[in-house]
Amino acid sequence: MLRVIVRRLLQLVVTLIALSALIFIWLRNLPGGPVDALLGERATPETRALLTKALGYDQPIHVQYGKFMQRILTGDFGNSIRTGDPVIEVIGRAFPATFELALAAMVIAVGLGIPLGYLAARWRGRSLDHLTVVGTLLGISIPIFFLGYLLKDVFTQNIHWFPPSGRVGIGLDNTNITGFFVLDGLLTREFDAAADALWHLILPALTLATIPLAVIVRMTRASVLDVLNEDYVRTAEAKGLRHRTIRKRHILRNALLPVVTTIGLQTGALLSGAVLTEKVYNWGGLGTLITDSITGSRDYPVLQALILLAAFVFVVVNLLVDLSYAFIDPRVRVR
Amino acid sequence: MTEPTTQAGTPAPRRKDERPGGGNLNRLGDRKKARLEELARASSGKGGVSLFRDALRRLRRNPAAIVGATIIGLFVLVAIFAPLIAPHDPVQRFDELTSKLAADNIPGPTDGFPLGSDELGRDLLSRLIYGSRQTLFVGVLATLIGLAIGVLFGAIAGAFGGWVDNILMRVTDVMLALPALLLAITLVALASRSSQWTVIMAVAIVNVPIFARLLRGSMLAQRESDHVLAARALGVKQRSIVLRHMLPNAMTAVIVQATLTLSVAIIEAASLSFLGLGDPDRDRAEWGAMLGDAGVRYFEVRPELAYYPALAIIVVALGFTLLGEAMREAIDPKNRR
C-alpha cells in the first residue's frame, strides 16, 4: 500500500514538472508577450529592453526555467504583472471563494445525485425515472453560463429570492478570518453575515452543480441497475432481509464504487465550471482570476501558477479517490 | 479444468508454423497461409457486417436514437440549405432595424423580421439559420481534428506497446491533468489573438487524449485476442495486423465517442466565446458566439438574443448525445439479448 502511494506520488511529481515545463516554454515564446502587454505597442525599444531585462526575460530559456523551478519550490511564484503583488498572495486571496463555491456545488451534486440516481433505478420505467433521465440529458446539454444567466434572471429580477451577484451584501460588516465567508460568519457569531453569505452562495452553487449532478445521477442510476440484477441481491431478498439492509449493505455498497470514481473526475468539471460560473455571478475567485489574467493584459506568472494549481488539485483528488477504493471495497487490492 | 489442456495444446502448432522448414514444407506453408488469410478476411468481413447490422437493428428500435438522428438530420439539412431558408442576408444591417437600436432597446419581431433584430440591426432569424453552418463546421472540424490526432496517438501506442506506449501515455497524462475548459483556455491564450481557428484547435486538442486513451485501450485488449493471435500465427505483417485486424475493430468505440464529443465541442466553443476567447469576427454567425457574446451582454435588454441560440445549441447537443449514447448501448455486448 505504501509503495503504491509513493509510486503514484512520484508519477504526480513527474506530471507536474512536465506540465510546468510545457507551460513555461509555451508562455515564454508567445508573440505579444508580457512586456508588450505592459508597455503597449508604442513603447520605445529602449524601455522595452529595460523591462525585458528587469523581468529577466532576456536570459536563456533554460536558465529562466531553472530559476522558476527554484523559486516555485520555495513557494515563490513571482509577482503578478498586473498588480505587482506576489502571485501566491493573489491566489491565496481568491482561493477561499472558489473552494467555498466548489464545495457547496459538490455537496449539492452528491447529496442530490446519489439519492435521485438510486430512486430512478429502483423505479425504473416510472415517471420519476423518465423525468430524471430527461433532466440529466438537459443538464449536460445546456451551456452552464447560460443557465447561470437564466437562474439569475428568474430568481433575482422576476422573483427577488436571491441576490444577483457577489459574495456579500452591500453594507454588511462581516469579519474576515478564513476567507470562507459562511464559516467566518459562524466563527465570529455574526450569524446574519453567515446567512447572507449562504444566501449569495446558493444560485452560483446550483449553477456550478448542474453538470456534476447530472453525471452523478446517471452514473448512480446505471450502476444501481447493474447491481439490482445481481444474484446476491435476489438472494438477499429471498432470505427475507429488510429493504433497508439490502439497500445499504448489498446495493449501495456495491453500486457506489464507480460513482466514487466519477465524483473524483467531476472535480475537473468543477474547476472548468468555476471559471464560467464566477464570471456570471461576479464571484471574484480563482476563475475570475484566470479570466482576468488572459483577457486584456496577459498576466503570465498568475496564469502559470493557476494552471499548475488546477492540475495539482485535479490529480491529487483523483489519486485520493483511487486510494480510497481499497478502503471502500475490500476486494480491491491496489497493486 | 479444461483451460490448462488448451493452454498446453496451443503452443505446439504455433511453434511448428514459425519454424523455417525445408523447401516442400515451406511451399505447403505458403499455400496454407494464403488460404487461411483468405478465410480470415472473408469471415472477418462477414462477421463485421453482421455485427454492424445487429447494432443497427438495435439502434433502429431505440426511440432515443431515432429522436437524436432526426435532430441531427434536420440540423444538417438547415445548414446545407441555409441560403434557401433564410429570409435575409445574415450580415446585412437593415436601416429599419438600426434606426430603432438604442442602449436599452433592441427591436423585437416586426414585419419581415419574424424574430426581430440582433444587437447590430441584423435579422436574428437569418443569423440563426446561417449559424447552423458555422456551428456544424466548428463542431465537426474540432471533433475530426481531435479524432485524427488522438487515433494516431492511440494506434501507435496500442500497436507498439512498450516504451512508445509509455511515453505517449505520459503525454496524455499531462493533458488530462488539466480540466477540459482550462486546457482550452490555456491553448487559446497561447495564440497571440483568438480566431475561429484557435477555438477549433483548442477544442480539438482537448479531446486528443480522450480519443488516444480509448483507442489504445481497445487496441491493447485486442493484442492478445484470438483473431490477432491467429493473424500473427499466419505470419501476417505487423502493419496489416494493426491496420486491417486491430484498428477497424477498435474504431467502433472511437466513433461513438466522436458523436458524444460533437455536443461537447459545440458547448465548449460557446464557453470560450463567453470568456472573450472566441471568434472575434462579428459578421460570422455562430450559435456559440451569438450566445456567449451578444446573447449574455444584452441579456437584460433583450434576452431573446440569448434564448434562441441557446435553445438551438441545447437541442443539437441533445441530438448528438442521444444518438451517441444509443450507439454505445447498441454496440455494448451486454445489451445483446
Mutation choice for A interface testing from B206, B275, B305 by most A CBs within 10 A: B275
Report in angstroms the alpha-carbon separations of B123 from B77, B131, B284: 20, 12, 13
Q: Is B68 on the interface with A (CB under 8 A)?
A: no
Report the residue count for chain A. Answer: 335
Q: What is the per-residue pLDDT for B130?
A: 93
- The runs of H, that is alpha helices, within chain B are 2-9, 11-18, 23-60, 63-80, 82-85, 95-98, 124-160, 162-176, 180-190, 196-223, 226-233, 238-240, 247-274, 287-289, 296-297, 304-331
Q: Is A279 on the interface with B (CB under 8 A)?
A: yes
Return the minimum-mean-pLDDT range out of A194-198, A216-220, B2-6, B47-51.
Answer: B2-6
Tell me whether residues A140 and B321 touch, CB distance under 8 A. yes
Report in angstroms the alpha-carbon separations of B92 from B118, B127, B285: 11, 10, 12
Report helix, strand or coil for B117: strand
Report in angstroms the alpha-carbon separations of A96 from A179, A182, A286, B253: 5, 11, 9, 40
Q: Measured between CB atoms, which of A27, A140, A145 is closest to B271?
A: A145
Q: For a pLDDT cut of 70, what percent of chain B falls above it?
A: 84
Q: Which domain holds residue B233?
A: 75-81+129-295+306-335
Mutation choice for A interface testing from B190, B203, B213, B271 by most A CBs within 10 A: B271
Q: Which amino acid is at B145?
A: I
Report helix, strand or coil for B121: coil
Position with higher pLDDT, A63 vs B145: B145
Tell the burial category of B8 from Cβ atoms under 10 Å away from its Cβ (0-12, 13-18, 19+): exposed
Q: Is A146 on the interface with B (CB under 8 A)?
A: yes
Residues 6+ apart with CB under 8 A from A177: A184, A187, A188
Residue B24 has pLDDT above 60, yes or no: no
| Residue ranges of A 150-189 with Cβ closer than 8 A to chain B | 153, 157
Range A121-125, long-range pairs (CB < 8 A, 24+ positions): A121/A220, A121/A221, A121/A222, A121/A223, A121/A224, A121/A225, A121/A228, A122/A224, A122/A228, A124/A225
Q: Measured between CB atoms, which of A153, A271, A310 is closest to B303?
A: A153
Q: What average pLDDT score do residues A31-45 get? A: 65
Q: Is A140 on the interface with B (CB under 8 A)?
A: yes
* Cell 501507435 belongs to residue: B156
Provide the pLDDT confidence category of residue B5 given band limits of 50, 70 and 90: very low
Q: Is B332 on the interface with A (CB under 8 A)?
A: no
Return the minimum-mean-pLDDT range out of A112-116, A120-124, A201-205, B329-333.
Answer: B329-333
Q: What is the per-residue pLDDT for B258?
A: 92
**pLDDT per residue as tens digits for the range B206-262:** 999 999 988 888 888 887 788 888 888 888 888 888 888 888 878 888 888 899 899
Residue B54 belongs to some domain of the structure: no
Whether residue A22 contacts residue B174, with contact meaning beta carbons closer than 8 Å, is answered with yes
Report in angstroms the alpha-carbon separations of A271 from B82, B151, B180, B199, B224: 38, 27, 9, 20, 39
Domains and CATH numbers, chain A: 2-73 (no CATH), 94-333 (1.10.3720.10)
Report the distance separating Cα A190 and Cα B240, nearest Å.
72
Tell me whether residues A137 and B318 touch, CB distance under 8 A. yes
Position with higher pLDDT, A201 vs A68: A201
Q: Which amino acid is at A178?
A: T
Q: Is B67 on the interface with A (CB under 8 A)?
A: no
Residue B322 belongs to some domain of the structure: yes
**pLDDT per residue as tens digits for the range B42-76:** 544 444 556 677 778 888 888 889 999 999 999 99
Tell me whether residues A291 and B267 touch, CB distance under 8 A. no
Return the minimum-mean-pLDDT range out of A103-107, A185-189, B45-49, B144-148.
Answer: B45-49
* Cell 502559470 belongs to residue: A304
Q: Which amino acid is at A120?
A: A
Q: Output the nine-digit C-alpha cell for A94.
A: 481568491
**pLDDT per residue as tens digits for the range B170-222:** 888 888 888 888 888 888 877 767 788 989 999 999 999 999 988 888 888 88
What does pTM read for this prediction?
0.82
Residue B55 belongs to some domain of the structure: no
Residue B86 belongs to some domain of the structure: no
Residue A260 has pLDDT above 60, yes or no: yes
Q: What is the per-residue pLDDT for B40?
A: 60
A26/chain B closest Cα distance in angstroms:
7
Chain B residues with beta carbon closer than 8 angstroms to that of A295: 275-277
Q: What φ, ψ does residue B74 adopt, rounded to 5°?
A: -60, -45
How many contacts (CB atoms, under 8 Å) link A and B?
116
> How is B270-311 classified by DSSP, letter by letter?
HHHHHTT-S---SSS--HHHIIIIIIHHTTTT-THHHHHHHH
Position with higher pLDDT, A72 vs B286: B286
Report the distance separating Cα B201 and Cα B141, nearest Å.
9
Report helix, strand or coil for B262: helix
Report the residue count for chain B. Answer: 337
Residue B221 belongs to some domain of the structure: yes
Q: Is B292 on the interface with A (CB under 8 A)?
A: yes
Per DSSP, what are the bridge partners of residue B110? B113
Residue A24 has pLDDT above 90, yes or no: no
Return the minimum-mean-pLDDT range out of A226-240, B10-24, B129-143.
Answer: B10-24
Tell the burial category of B191 from Cβ atoms under 10 Å away from its Cβ (0-12, 13-18, 19+): middle
Chain B residues with beta carbon closer than 8 angstroms to that of A146: 270, 291, 295-296, 306, 310
Chain A residues with beta carbon closer than 8 angstroms to that of B192: 30-32
Residue B111 has pLDDT above 60, yes or no: yes
Q: Is A4 on the interface with B (CB under 8 A)?
A: no
Mutation choice for B interface testing from A145, A221, A275, A318 by most B CBs within 10 A: A145
Q: What is the per-residue pLDDT for B12?
A: 40
Angle at B285 between CA B284 and CA B291, to 5 degrees: 125
Residue B274 has pLDDT above 80, yes or no: yes
Question: Is the ipTM of this structure higher than 0.85?
Answer: no
Residue B36 belongs to some domain of the structure: no
Q: What φ, ψ does residue B105 adopt, rounded to 5°?
A: -145, 125
Determine the residue of chain A that is closest to B312 in CA distance. A142
Q: What is the per-residue pLDDT for A81?
A: 77
Residue B18 belongs to some domain of the structure: no
Return the minimum-mean-pLDDT range out of A110-124, A205-219, B165-179.
Answer: B165-179
What's the number of domains chain B is made of? Answer: 1
- The runs of H, that is alpha helices, within chain A are 2-28, 34-39, 45-54, 61-73, 87-122, 127-141, 144-152, 181-187, 191-228, 231-239, 243-245, 253-281, 286-294, 300-328
Angle at A96 between CA A84 and CA B186, to 5 degrees: 60
Provide the pLDDT confidence category of residue B8 given band limits of 50, 70 and 90: very low
Q: Is B296 on the interface with A (CB under 8 A)?
A: yes
B298/chain A closest Cα distance in angstroms:
11
Chain B residues with beta carbon closer than 8 angstroms to that of A140: 263, 317, 321
- Please provide the distance, in angstroms rounded to a whole number, between the alpha carbons at the two ends of chain B: 28
Q: For a pLDDT cut of 90, what percent of chain B falls above it?
A: 28
Q: What is the per-residue pLDDT for A79?
A: 81
Q: What average pLDDT score do residues B121-142 get? A: 92
Identify which of B196, B172, B327 has the alpha carbon closest to the alpha carbon of residue B269. B196
Residue B22 has pLDDT above 60, yes or no: no
Chain B residues with beta carbon closer than 8 angstroms to that of A271: 179, 182
Q: For a pLDDT cut of 70, what percent of chain A falls above it?
A: 88
A226/chain B closest Cα distance in angstroms:
11
Q: For a pLDDT cut of 90, what percent of chain A falls above it?
A: 22
B302/chain A closest Cα distance in angstroms:
12
Provide the pLDDT confidence category of residue A314 given band limits of 50, 70 and 90: confident
Residue A44 has pLDDT above 60, yes or no: yes
Q: What average pLDDT score do residues A52-75 get? A: 78
**Which range is most confident: A44-58, A223-237, B67-81, B215-229?**
B67-81
Q: What average pLDDT score do residues B133-160 get? A: 92
Residue B111 belongs to some domain of the structure: no
Tell me whether residues A142 and B310 touch, CB distance under 8 A. yes
* Cell 499531462 belongs to residue: B174
Assign residue B218 the CATH number of its domain: 1.10.3720.10
Tell me the pLDDT of chain A averaged across its residues. Answer: 82
Q: Is B65 on the interface with A (CB under 8 A)?
A: no
Q: What is the per-residue pLDDT for A169?
A: 67
- Please provide the distance, in angstroms rounded to a whole number, between the alpha carbons at the two ends of chain A: 8
Residue A154 has pLDDT above 90, yes or no: no
Provide the pLDDT confidence category of residue A209 given band limits of 50, 70 and 90: very high
Report the distance separating Cα A257 and Cα A78, nearest Å.
42
Q: Which amino acid is at A50?
A: L
